[in-house]
Structures are given as C-alpha cells and as structure tokens.
C-alpha cells in the first residue's frame, strides 16, 4: 500500500504542468490502474519530437490516433503519414463497444464519439489532394544528397542548375532534368564549356543512371506542378479544431527511396518556409511518420545527416515530429537522442537478438523503483505502453506504465464511398489536382534541337566549296612522294643541328 501511495505521489508530481495539456491515459502499478495517476502531455513541449514504438498489434496506431485527436481539439494542425492505410477512420465518429466502455470506466473518463476534420493527400494517383514539388524547389544540394552523389558530381548538378537559371530553362519535373543532362553531354557541351568549365561525360552518365533509378520508384508522379504550399497543412477549421492532413502512402512500402525523398523535401520546405518562433505555448504543426524505418533504410550518410540537422533545428519553428516504428533501433541513435516523448508498446522476445534489442531499449528510459523495465516491455497488454515525456523544464518525467485512452474516432478505415465524399468536400483537392504542363526545359531544348537539325542541311549547302580542277598534286602517289621527301629534309636539318638520332627522335615532338 505504501508503494502505491509513493507511486501515486511520484506520478502526480511528475505529470503536473502549468500550461495546457491533454490526458493520454492513466498510470498502472502491478497490472492495475491507479486512480488519480493521470498521465498527461503538455502542449508546450510537443515540439521536442517523439517516438511511438512497439510490435505489430500492440496498439501503436491507436495511440497515434489518440494523440492526433488531442492536438486537433487544442487547435493544433496535424500531418500524418499513413503507410498501412489504417488512419483514415479519424474522419468518422467512433462507436461504443464493451471493451471501450470497460476501459473508460477504469480511466474514469467519458467516451464521446467524434469525427475530426480531415483532408486526404496523396503522392500518386490515389484519391486525395496531390502533393507535388518541382525539381527547382529541391535545389542542387538536396537533389545531390537524395541521389547519393559525390562532391564532384554534386558540383556538376549545381552547374546545371546555374545554367538553367541563366538560360531561363525551368526545371519542373524529372524529364526536364534528364533532357538538360542529355543536352549538356551532347549538343550543348561545347557552348557550356566556354562559360561553365570542363564537362565530364562520366559524371553526366552516372547522374543520369541515378535519376533513372529514382524514376523507377515512381518519382515522376511527385515532381511537377502545382507545388504544394505548406500553409495548407496548418489550417484551423470553422469550429476551431486543427485540420488533420493524412498523406496516403500505402503504395510506397516497396519504394523507400521515393518515400525518403518526399519526407526530406517536406521537412526542408517546412524549415525554409516557417519563421523562427522560439518557445511557444503549443506547436504550429505536429507530424506523425508511421513505419518510420522506411525513411532510414535507404538513406545514405549525407541524407541521414541532413535529416538529423533538420530535426534538431525545426523545433524552433514550432514544429514537432513523431516517428512511429516497430523497433526503436530502426531510428538512428543521433535522431533518437532528439526525441523527448517516448511511448513504448510491447516488444516480443523470440530470439537472442530480440532480447538484446529489448535490453538496449529499456536502457533508453529513466530508471524507476516501481518497474523492472526490461521485463515489463515484454508483458505490456494491447493499448498499454511505457511513457516518459519532457516537462516544461526539459527534464524527463517518471516512467509510467500507462493504459492509453481509446480514440473517439473510428478505429477502422473509411469506405470507398466515404473517401469519395471526403475528397469532394475538400477545400484543397481541387486546387492541387488540376493538371498543369507548363513550358519548361524539356520543351525549350527539344525545340532548340529541332531548329538546329533543320538548319544543318541548309548550312552544309551554303558552306560546300566550289568544285576545282584536279592538279597533279591531288594524285595519291604524288602526295605520298611529297610527304616522304618532306620527312627526309626535316630529319636532315635536325641532324645538322645536332638533334637527330634514333633515341632522341623518339623523345621529340616530331
């Protein structure tokens, strides 16, 4: 009983905050919910990023849904990457069942079925507002990192961007970039070398192959117009709730290169577009990245460094990023160190490697006298998690075995008819689904090459020399005799000057 009282006091002290917060669940001890031991999340520290981890079927997605609901209720816009296709139900009200009723009674809360304001976005041809970006918006540095180029190749990409800027050749999609690569390594090589320096055909070939590799993963559907504006991710609806934007990326599970390309560009665009905010009472935007290992598994060192840098700096813009993955070790240590809120669902220990991961994971959490963390991670029930967050002073709160509250929205996906209705009512779908094919580098260079091809026969006719009468010196035999005589005279002169001889003549320019 004494332990229970100490536990309740520790949780109340650790999870008491001055600013606004919302209830995530209630702390448990020895498998039972402790009345009054509410685990709450302060809005002020939500820009410190976070991690939601756990094995399949342990409740990660529902926890993510609960967090998104709490943020929307607090007028904080949310962006969610839905790679499994099971988050769309947040747009519909939930339904009560016996399990939800029992859980709400244990947590001493009321269940209010609620539909949340939602927009569906897509990178491909799925239903929803299309997300696109132009090649120019990526810029040479980011594009080089995505393609995994070395410094020399990256410098060549920067030269291409400079040439396109100087020549007013818009780089909108990948076919523009490929066309410019082909042009500078063939017909336009001589002109470019006069202004921009030597061009290596080896570099152009390598870059072209890497761009085609990106194309093979479907990048053509992402590059182009109309570019998505980040302000459309930060909207509040008429009822004062934050809009929840769900990016449907279910078709990118086998195309991690494209997914990481999109994510890095989005983070870079958010960082570049948003002003410095300092310490805010609540964030301007919170982003949840489901199946986050897809960002990192295809990322090279330069890309990882870029992600780490952006995550470190973007919090000052009032933006929080939350990674959702099965294994916390999927997230690089340098990134993991930046994540203030950690929600750890159950992990399974089937092998020695699994047990090693569980031990490493338990060492990432604050020490506690109330749990044996390493053992508890394998014993957590569905919808239960180990939770620790940063308080307003940046200090980790006590580790709590928490029963997570149930989502108030639907814990299932929308039907096709409901998706059609949601997209039809969207205020941004019509804006971004319009097909635009502006005149860009591809069209301009194609016209230029076609004009050059038409002029070439005419110029050959004009430049053709007048036919002259043959002379004796045009005869091949006479030409050969002339060359032989000339060589003999030259060798004789060199001998007179003391420069002749077999060994020296090999070293001479002649």
Kindly report, residue by residue over 452-470, the tens digit of the pLDDT: 667 656 555 555 555 555 5
Paired tokens of 439: 């005149």
Predicted confidence at residue 486, as pLDDT, reads: 45
Query: Span 133-161, mean pLDDT?
Result: 87
In the DSSP assignment, the letter for residue 509 is -
- Tell me the per-residue pLDDT of 19-28, one tens digit each, with 9 for 90 and over: 899 999 999 9
Query: Span 410-418, mean pLDDT?
Result: 92
Contacts of 4 (CB under 8 A, 6+ apart): 29, 34
What span, in angstroms and rounded, lies between the C-alpha atoms of 287 and 48? 12
Paired with 32 in beta bridges are 29
Query: Span 105-120, mean pLDDT?
Result: 95
Residue in the structure block whose two tokens are 């229970």: 4
Predicted confidence at residue 222, as pLDDT, reads: 81
Averaged pLDDT of the chain: 83
Alpha carbons within 13 angstroms on the beta-carbon side of residue 460 total: 6
Q: What percent of the chain has pLDDT over 70?
A: 86
CB 19 within 8 A of CB 42: yes
- Tell me the per-residue pLDDT of 237-251, one tens digit each, with 9 for 90 and over: 999 999 999 998 877
The helix (run of H) or strand (run of E) holding residue 431 is helix 429-432
The three state secondary structure string of 49-110 is: CEEEECCCCCCHHHHHHHHHHHHHHCCCCEEEEECCCCCHHHHCECCCCHHHHHHHHHHCCC
What span, in angstroms and rounded, lies between the C-alpha atoms of 399 and 248? 34
The answer to which of 307-321, 332-346, 356-370, 478-492 has the lowest mean pLDDT is: 478-492
CB 438 within 8 A of CB 172: yes
In the DSSP assignment, the letter for residue 348 is -
- Tell me the per-residue pLDDT of 419-458, one tens digit each, with 9 for 90 and over: 999 999 998 888 888 777 677 777 887 877 777 667 656 5
pLDDT at 494 over 50: no
What span, in angstroms and rounded, lies between the C-alpha atoms of 82 and 80? 6
| Complete DSSP assignment for 111-126 | -------EEEEESSSS
What span, in angstroms and rounded, lies between the C-alpha atoms of 290 and 281? 26
């Amino acid at each position: 009983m004494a332990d229970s009282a100490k536990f309740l006091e520790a949780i109340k002290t650790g999870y008491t905050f001055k600013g606004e917060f919302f209830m995530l669940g209630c702390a448990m001890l020895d498998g039972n919910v402790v009345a009054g031991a509410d685990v709450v999340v302060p809005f002020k520290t939500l820009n410190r990023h976070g991690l939601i981890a756990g094995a399949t079927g342990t409740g990660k997605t529902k926890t993510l849904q609960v967090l998104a609901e709490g943020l929307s209720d607090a007028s904080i816009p949310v962006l969610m990457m839905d790679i499994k296709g099971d988050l769309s139900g947040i747009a519909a009200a939930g339904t009560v069942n016996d399990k939800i009723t029992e859980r709400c009674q244990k947590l001493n809360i009321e269940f209010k079925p609620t539909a949340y304001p939602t927009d569906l976005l897509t990178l491909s041809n799925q239903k929803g507002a299309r997300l696109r970006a132009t090649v120019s918006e990526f810029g040479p540095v980011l594009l080089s990192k995505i393609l995994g180029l070395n410094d020399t190749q990256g410098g060549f990409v920067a030269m291409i961007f400079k040439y396109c800027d100087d020549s007013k050749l818009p780089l909108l999609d990948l076919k523009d970039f490929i066309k410019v690569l082909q042009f500078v390594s063939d017909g336009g090589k001589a002109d470019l070398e006069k202004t921009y320096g030597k061009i290596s055909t080896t570099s152009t070939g390598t870059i072209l192959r890497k761009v085609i590799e990106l194309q093979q993963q479907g990048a053509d559907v992402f590059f182009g117009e109309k570019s998505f504006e980040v302000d459309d991710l930060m909207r509040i609806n008429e009822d004062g709730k934050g809009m929840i934007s769900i990016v449907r990326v279910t078709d990118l599970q086998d195309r991690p290169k494209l997914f990481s390309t999109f994510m890095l560009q989005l983070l870079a665009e958010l960082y570049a577009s948003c002003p410095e905010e300092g310490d805010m009472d609540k964030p301007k935007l919170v982003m949840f990245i489901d199946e986050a290992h897809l960002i990192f598994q295809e990322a090279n060192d330069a890309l990882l460094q870029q992600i780490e840098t952006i995550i470190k700096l973007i919090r000052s813009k009032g933006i929080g990023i939350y990674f959702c993955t099965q294994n916390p070790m999927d997230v690089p240590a340098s990134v993991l160190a930046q994540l203030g809120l950690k929600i750890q669902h159950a992990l399974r220990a089937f092998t020695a490697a699994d047990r090693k991961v569980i031990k490493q994971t338990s060492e990432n959490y604050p020490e506690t006298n109330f749990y044996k963390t390493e053992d508890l991670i394998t014993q957590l029930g569905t919808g239960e998690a180990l939770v620790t967050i940063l308080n307003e002073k940046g200090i980790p709160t006590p580790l709590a075995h928490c029963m997570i509250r149930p989502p108030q929205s639907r814990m299932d996906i929308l039907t096709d008819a409901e998706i059609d209705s949601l997209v039809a009512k969207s205020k941004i779908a019509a804006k971004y689904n319009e097909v635009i094919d502006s005149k860009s580098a591809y069209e301009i260079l194609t016209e230029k090459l076609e004009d050059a091809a038409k002029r070439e026969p005419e110029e050959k006719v004009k430049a053709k020399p007048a036919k002259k009468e043959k002379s004796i010196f045009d005869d091949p035999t006479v030409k050969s005799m002339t060359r032989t005589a000339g060589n003999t005279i030259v060798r004789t002169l060199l001998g007179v000057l003391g420069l002749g001889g077999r060994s020296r003549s090999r070293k001479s320019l002649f």
